[in-house]
Each structure stands twice: as structure tokens, then as C-alpha cells.
Amino acid sequence: MTASYRAPGVILTEREHTVPLDHGRRDRETITVFTREVAAPGGEARPYLLFLQGGPGMEAARPTSQSSGWMKRALQDYRVLLLDQRGTGRSTPVGRHIPGETPEAQAEYLTHFRADSIVRDAELIREELGVDRWSVLGQSFGGFSTMTYLSIAPEGLREAFITGGLSPIGRPVDDIYGATYVRLVEKNRAYFERYPDDRERTREIFRRLDDEDVGLPSRDRLTSRRFRQLGLWLGDSAGFELLHHVLELPFGSNAFLHDTENAVRFHRNPIYATLHESSYADGVPTRWSAARLLPPEVEEEGYFTAEHVFPWMWEDYAALHGHRAAAELLAEHPWPRLYDRDRLRHNDVPVAATIYVNDLYVERAFAEETAASIRGLRPWITNELEHNGLRADGERVLGRLIEMVKGRA
């Protein structure tokens, strides 16, 4: 199914593509994957740039009529293809309830929603559109997916741009989460240095949430451990202020409760939580790594957590209740490898990637290690931006990566 629209400054073409649920069994169940093509007037024949967004379990951004940021820069050279990752947006969705009659069947269903399946969806779509090779821009988890693309189908890529998304290759999951906690402690200390009065305010909130039954607009109980997850903001360029602006609100007020609930939105895309640790499972089970490695210091000092998932979330978030049994099984699942070391070592696709020095979510040292293991990858190591650099200053970020791939920077 295809439909085209004209909006000020852009031409939008929407398509629904039928793909197999399991790419290893193409004659079985199928699902739908939605794409939206964005082109500047007169740029309908430009080469494609496939955008793979963060996640897992997040659909593509919805473009406005006037392009800005990275999209504005991209449309000068490309037409952009936005893809709703399987399970999200207008693709066949996975909501509160997972298809399958048993937890085992539900867990098996979700094993087909990782980066390897997303890449194979993209390859079928590329072939369907009659494209020889296209370019790819991967942000965060989209960068991980781009590395998977380079591992399993590099023949489909002309060039690759990665922003904040160089995943460790073959490292134990515990190494990865251990490193994130070191960064997390640093970020918390920096936050409370900027807003020293918030330290006691935070401890007071934690105490009250432990002692009082505080209900959110969704009717979930707001627990202290759930409130602690507002630290997800600490890796954003505006995150310190976003967190402070919640902490300054009167406790229990309508604004406080709404802003707290909207800060961590597992209820909208539950597979973001259920599949999150699997993003780092390069050939191994994760066994709730973030929960096992949580340093006592985080609770003792009244610190916030970040992009970590914990088994208790499937109790505290009503939207995750239907995923609980499957999540427990997936934590023990022996995931297949996401990356092919040998193919990456002999890669011939031009790649440019940002590595953010203070990245809370993707450890810099591991990202540099990965960059060195991908032949032809040119890294841009910078402390000017945080993990959300593509959103914060996208025109400059993508512009520089394009120049690097073209050998002009």
C-alpha cells in the first residue's frame, strides 16, 4: 500500500510492507512494517538515506512540514526513509499483550524483534523499492542496528553514519553495565553539584514515596524506585534542567505527577523495556545484568538510575504486566550474535561515527574499541555534545559525518 502527500517543503510517501515474522521461515506468519519517505521538492530521485532510530522498540520520528535539524541537512543530498521498527508505530504493533498463548510462545515471538530482524526487514524493503545500495544513519540503538547491517548485509549499503551508537562487540554484558554505572555515578555527582539544594529534596521525595501511597494519573503507584528512573534524563544535553524542573514542583501536585509519569514512558512502547538488555546480548543471555550489578552507592547516596531495566518494573508499571513472564524467559535466552567480527574487520563500506566523551549510555572506551575494529571507520570523538547530539545539533552533526565519509573533513 502506497500513499503520497505534499506538505510545505516536503513530499511524503507512505508505504506498508509485508515481511515474515521469522526471516528464517518466510513461508510462515507475516507482519507489516511501515515506512515514510521524505523528499524535498525536486529531490524525489535523490539516493536514499535510511534512518534507524534509537530504541529498541521505538518508531520513527514524525516529520513536520518544514524540515529542520539533521533532516534539513539530509534532504540536501538524499531522500530520507523513516522506518517504524517492527512492533512499533504503524508497523504491526506489540502493546501490553504479546501474541501467543503461553509465556514460552510470547517470548519466542519477541525473539524476532531485535536488530537482526530489523536489518532483514530493511533489506527486503530495499529490494522491493528496486534500490541497488542505500546509505544509512543510525542513532543510538539505530547505530547498533547499523553495525548489524554491516555484519549481515553490507552489500546493501553505500555508506553509513552512526551517532552515539558504537556497541561493544563480544564483550560480556556485565562489563557493559558495570561501565554504565561508573558513568551514572559521575553524572549524579555533577547534577547535585549544579543543583545542591536538590540533594535533600530528592532524599525527601524518596522517603515520602516509601511511606505514602502516591498514585499517578495512570493509577499506577509511584514508588521511589520508579521515581529514581528519572535519571534517564542525565545523559541528555538538557537533562539536568529537565530533572530539576520536576524536582522543584510541589510534591504530589498534578504537575509533579504528570511530569513524573511522562518522563519514563514504558507504557507507550513496552518492548523498549522488555527487549532492552537484549540489545547488548551479542551471543549470550543477559540474566538481568543491570539489576545484578546495581552498586549499593546508588541507593545509599540517593542517586538516580538511567537506561537500566530491573525485574521489579514488571510489577510497578501496569503496562508491563502482560510482558512479565516473557521478560523472565528472555533474560535467560541464549541470544545469537549480532555482529560478525571478521566481516567488520574486512569492511569496505565507508563509515563515520560520533563518539561522545561523556556518553552515559554508550561507554566511550568501548566505543573507541569498536571503532578500531571496523575497517575504514572514521570516528569523531567530541566532548561538545551528549548522547542526543543528533537531536540537539543535528544539522551540524550529520553535515560533519557526511564530509568525513566523503573524505572532505
Query: If DSSP codes are grouped into helix, strand and coil, which group holds residue 203?
Result: helix
Kindly list the strands in the beta sheet with 134-139, ordered across the sheet, starting from the edge strand earlier in the chain.
2-7, 10-20, 30-39, 79-83, 48-52, 134-139, 157-163, 351-356, 377-382
Mean pLDDT of 372-397: 97
Residue 65 has pLDDT above 80, yes or no: no
All cell numbers assigned to 329? 524467559
The β-bridge relationship of strands 10-20 and 2-7 is antiparallel
Residue 1: predicted pLDDT: 80
Best CA proximity match to 311, nearest among 265, 274, 266? 274
Residue 266: predicted pLDDT: 86
Residue 268: predicted pLDDT: 87
Percent of the chain residues topping a pLDDT of 70:
100
Cβ neighbours for 55, distance < 8 A, ≥ 6 positions apart: 85, 88, 140, 141, 142, 272, 279
Task: Establish whether the linkage from the previous residue to 103 is cis, with ω within 30° of 0.
Answer: no
Mean pLDDT of 202-220: 97
Which part of the chain has CATH 3.40.50.1820? 2-170+337-405
Residue 26 has pLDDT above 90, yes or no: no
Residue 253: predicted pLDDT: 98
Residue 265: predicted pLDDT: 82
Percent of the chain residues topping a pLDDT of 90:
94
Reported as a single tens digit per residue, the pLDDT across 184-200 is 999 999 999 999 999 99
Reported as a single tens digit per residue, the pLDDT across 27-48 is 899 999 999 999 999 999 999 9
Using CB atoms within 10 Å of the CB of residue 242, give its burial: 0 to 12 exposed, 13 to 18 middle, 19+ buried: middle
DSSP state of 135: E
Confidence of residue 66 (pLDDT cuts 50, 70, 90): low
Kindly calculate the radius of gyration of the chain based on its CA atoms and give it in whole angstroms: 21
First to last CA, the chain: 41
| Integer angstrom CA distances of residue 89 from 62, 93, 268, 399 | 10, 7, 10, 28
Mean pLDDT of 392-398: 97
Residue located via cell numbers 545542591: 196
Q: What gap in Å lies between CA 290 and CA 310, rounded to an integer?
A: 7
DSSP state of 133: -
| Integer angstrom CA distances of residue 133 from 41, 123, 156, 403, 409 | 22, 10, 5, 19, 23
Residue 267: predicted pLDDT: 85
Amino acid at 180: T
Q: How much of the chain is helix, strand and coil, in % rounded to 5? A: 45, 15, 40
Residue 169: predicted pLDDT: 96
Mean pLDDT of 94-108: 96
Mean pLDDT of 291-313: 97
Residue 88 has pLDDT above 70, yes or no: yes
Mean pLDDT of 319-344: 97
Residue 329: predicted pLDDT: 98
Q: Among 101-110, 158-167, 243-252, 260-269, which stretch is predicted with the lowest mean pLDDT?
A: 260-269
Whether the CB-CB separation of 132 and 162 falls below 8 Å is answered with no
Amino acid at 369: E
Mean pLDDT of 355-370: 97
Q: What gap in Å lies between CA 139 and CA 151, rounded to an integer?
A: 17
Count how many Cα atoms sit within 13 Å of the Cα of residue 265 in the half-sphere of its side chain: 10
The H or E element that residue 352 is part of is: strand 351-356
Domain 2-170+337-405 part of CATH 3.50.50.60: no
Mean pLDDT of 349-373: 97
Residue 27: predicted pLDDT: 83
Residue 44: predicted pLDDT: 95
**Residue 17: count of CB within 10 angstroms of its CB:** 20
This model's pTM is above 0.75: yes
Residue 221 has pLDDT above 70, yes or no: yes
Supply the mean pLDDT for the chain: 96
